[in-house]
Amino acid sequence: MTTEAYRVHVDPDKCQGHNRCYSLAPELFDTDDLGMASELGDGTVAPDLLDKARRAVANCPEYAISLTEVQP
């Protein structure tokens, strides 16, 4: 049985600090003192957080977040 694994990544050059990702999925994102977002850890998305990750990607006005499938 193959399980899909995903990772989120925030492009720091595109992030403008809207913090929508953090407000939608604080389990996946963090913000610094200037409000710029980054992924927590290596960006691995637990299966139960995949919907939140997708919402964060869809709600980023700068298209700074990517969600990629990784091979186990």
**Whether 7 contacts 70, CB under 8 Å:** yes
What's the pLDDT tens digit per position in 2-56? Answer: 567 999 999 999 999 999 999 999 999 999 999 999 999 999 999 999 999 999 9
Count of domains in the chain? 1
Domain that holds residue 65: 5-70
Q: What integer is the mean pLDDT of 53-63?
A: 97
Rg (CA), the chain: 12
**Contact by Cβ (8 Å): 19, 65:** no
CA-nearest of 56, 48, 71, 62 to 8 is 56
Joined tokens for residue 62: 């700068």
71 — pLDDT class (breaks 50, 70, 90): confident
Q: Determine the Cα–Cα distance for residues 33 and 31; give it in Å rounded to an integer.
A: 7
